[in-house]
Homo-oligomer: A and B are copies of this chain.
Amino acid sequence: MVEKKKKFSEGILFTDFYQLTMAQLYFKNGLHQKEVQFDYFFRNYPEYNSHQAGYCVACGLKPLVDWMQSACFKAEDVEALAAQKGSDKKPVFEADFLDWLSSAGDFSSISLEAIPEGRVVHPEVPLAVVRGPLAMAQILESSLLNHLNYQTLIATKSCRIKEAGRGNLLLEFGLRRGQGRGVDLGVRASLIGGADFSSNTGISYELGFSPKGTHAHSMVQAFIALGYSELDAFSAYADLYPDNCIFLVDTINTLSSGIPNAIKVFEKLACKGHKPLGIRLDSGDLAYLSIQAAKMLNQAGFEEVKIVLSNKLDELVIWQILTQIQQEAAKYEVDPGRLIKRLVYGVGTNLITSQGCPALDGVYKLVAVGGQEGLRPAFKLSEVPAKTSNPGRKGIWRLYDRRQKAVADVLSQEGEDLFKEGEQVLHHPSQEKNRVIKKENVSRVEGLHREIVKEGKLVYDFPSIEETRDLRKKDLSFLDSGVKRLINPHRYHVSLSDKLWKLKRNFIGIPIPHRKSIGGDNG
């Protein structure tokens, strides 16, 4: 058996086993070098129990490409595969295939086009297109899906939470309840989707961000258990961090102890010329308590001090808190608009796990196969019509109307000029529905794909996380507000061009290609 300490999980063996047995099958039948195209797309927006997203935020591309560029079959990987026995106790993998993996088993033959990270994206639209030889394109599937599904899911959730919080500061706190080491790239996706900072120290440093945090209940509790008081704990904290003080005020009692003690310390800090930063509320009725906290802080002259909310927040909880503040703050002589502006959100579990919908249903489908004249369309003969992929090489477009709003994403055949004829018939991807859109009503036709990797070589300059966030913000500004609704959003149109639709119909209509006998170069 293989030695235990080798880190097989980091490299190219981060894949499903059947990819390797299929790759050997292709190799043995001389099909492994056949040029193919796989499309990555998701079929449905995330559904979070009571609500559903109206858009997603693409994410995961750079970590995927980093992985692709370092992944290859190293000697120890090939050794592990060589030791793998089948149910007949014989080796599963044969020497010629393993030799081929050793020499050609990397992604240097793979090309990748994709929609950049941070862009708003929709179902059925290929977010990534992989072209290259069949065997390696197949082996790539599992890791590609893992990267793009999870990170797009989390960037989307983060964006929803950021939008619910009306753009206020959002801190990611998910390390402790997230799904193992997924939290690290989850933090990156959160930062792209909407979070400003994370409490996760290591990954923040790797990404060039400052980690953020306040303090825990255990700090106050430790001081008390050692014979001190909550006020002592706050005072000690303020002595050490006079310009970085955010006090968690609910360890004993928020209104009778925590906030009064925080104010006492803030007053001392202010006397010494320091600027108190905030308080944090982590339990109870966060809307009611934030109104009372604002009132007390205002009366003490601390109108600028932030109020950080945490404890099981998600987009709906934040929405509810803000609604309650708007309805009730005035009763307590607190201006609701000013209170809402000073709120900061610390979101843990529900962001990092995408509570309500812990997985995006993205798939990786074979849509074209190499023939004499280049890639020919291929499709899956599914028993479910909606699951039939859109075949072949395609153009991927976003249409903007005269208001500069995005109104449809369109899949066409490659190289189509959508409005050559002055108008375009846009078809629903699976239902018998279409509409005609005239050229004069379209202000812009934007190609969404970028060439990322060309035969293994990175040809794309990845933007920084800050630039990626700008892409997200810009795309959000192009969305109709109905599409951005948290609940029951307006359905954004994704359509097929008339030509692509006809090609697909032809394919579904015609019989399966004539049978040939099989026999490859290595068979």
A506 within 8 A of B: no
| CB pair B179 A225 closer than 8 Å | no
A127 within 8 A of B: no
Contacting residues of chain A (167-184) with chain B, CB-CB under 8 angstroms: 173, 175-184
14 pairs from A and B in contact (CB 8 Å cutoff): A8-B203, A11-B202, A13-B205, A14-B175, A16-B175, A16-B199, A17-B213, A18-B199, A18-B216, A147-B180, A177-B362, A179-B358, A180-B181, A227-B514
Q: Of B22, B184, B215, B218, which is within 8 A of A219 by CB?
A: B22
Instruction: Kindly list chain B residues whose C-beta atoms are within 8 Å of the C-beta of A384.
Output: 283
CB-defined interface of A281-318 with B at 8 Å, one 1/0 digit per residue? 00110000000000000000000000000000000000
| CB pair A25 B176 closer than 8 Å | no
Instruction: Kindly list chain B residues whose C-beta atoms are within 8 Å of the C-beta of A18.
Output: 199, 213-216
Q: Which of the candidate stretches A108-116, A138-146, A260-268 sits at the interface with the other chain?
A: A138-146
Q: Which of the candidate stretches A87-95, A435-443, A489-497 sits at the interface with the other chain?
A: A87-95
A508 within 8 A of B: no
CA distance A132 to B240 in the complex (A): 24
CA distance A182 to B199 in the complex (A): 18
A220–chain B nearest beta-carbon distance, Å:
9
CA distance A232 to B150 in the complex (A): 36
Given contacts A185-B180, A227-B516, A366-B221, contact A216 B22 (CB under 8 A): yes
Looking at A180, A213, A239, A253, the one whose CB has the most chain B CB atoms below 10 A away is A180
Q: Of B173, B208, B277, B517, which is within 8 A of A2 by CB?
A: B208
Instruction: Kindly list chain B residues whose C-beta atoms are within 8 Å of the C-beta of A215.
Output: 18, 21-22, 25
CA distance A457 to B328 in the complex (A): 56
Determine how many copies of this chain the complex contains.
Answer: 2
Q: With CB as the reference atom, state the residue of chain B lying closest to A250.
A: B383
CB-defined interface of A22-48 with B at 8 Å, one 1/0 digit per residue? 101110110100101010000000000
| CB pair B25 A237 closer than 8 Å | yes
A134 within 8 A of B: yes
> Can you name 13 extra interface pairs (CB under 8 A) apart from A21-B241, A146-B175?
A2-B205, A7-B202, A9-B202, A15-B175, A15-B201, A16-B175, A18-B199, A20-B201, A180-B182, A180-B186, A221-B380, A229-B512, A236-B523
Contacting residues of chain A (64-112) with chain B, CB-CB under 8 angstroms: 80, 84-88, 90, 92
| CB pair A206 B175 closer than 8 Å | no
Q: Which of the candidate stretches A117-125, A349-357, A404-412, A418-426 sits at the interface with the other chain?
A: A349-357
Q: Of B205, B254, B353, B361, which is within 8 A of A359 by CB?
A: B353
Given contacts A21-B215, A176-B16, A359-B178, contact A225 B150 (CB under 8 A): no
CA distance A10 to B206 in the complex (A): 10
Instruction: Kindly list chain B residues whose C-beta atoms are within 8 Å of the C-beta of A203.
Output: 8-9
A4–chain B nearest beta-carbon distance, Å:
6
A136 within 8 A of B: no
Number of residues of chain A lying within 8 A (CB) of chain B: 136
| CB pair B252 A381 closer than 8 Å | yes
A44–chain B nearest beta-carbon distance, Å:
13
A156 within 8 A of B: no
Instruction: Kindly list chain B residues whose C-beta atoms are within 8 Å of the C-beta of A176.
Output: 16, 141-142, 145-146, 149
A226 within 8 A of B: yes
A402 within 8 A of B: no
Instruction: Kindly list chain B residues whose C-beta atoms are within 8 Å of the C-beta of A221.
Output: 366, 378-381
CA distance A201 to B12 in the complex (A): 9
A279 within 8 A of B: no
Instruction: Kindly list chain B residues whose C-beta atoms are within 8 Å of the C-beta of A241.
Output: 21, 25, 86, 92
Instruction: Kindly list chain B residues whose C-beta atoms are within 8 Å of the C-beta of A222.
Output: 26, 31, 34, 36, 134, 366, 369, 378
Q: With CB as the reference atom, state the residue of chain B lying closest to A185.
A: B180
Instruction: Kindly list chain B residues whose C-beta atoms are within 8 Å of the C-beta of A253.
Output: 381, 383
The 9 A-B residue pairs whose C-beta atoms are closest, nearest first, are: A182-B182, A18-B213, A180-B182, A13-B202, A88-B243, A179-B182, A225-B378, A9-B202, A353-B358
A324 within 8 A of B: no
Q: Of B24, B175, B240, which is within 8 A of A24 by CB?
A: B240
A230–chain B nearest beta-carbon distance, Å:
9
Instruction: Kindly list chain B residues whose C-beta atoms are within 8 Å of the C-beta of A184.
Output: 9, 180-181
CA distance A200 to B15 in the complex (A): 6
Q: With CB as the reference atom, state the residue of chain B lying closest to A368.
A: B225
CA distance A119 to B261 in the complex (A): 44
CA distance A180 to B24 in the complex (A): 27
| CB pair B244 A92 closer than 8 Å | yes
Instruction: Kindly list chain B residues whose C-beta atoms are within 8 Å of the C-beta of A331.
Output: none
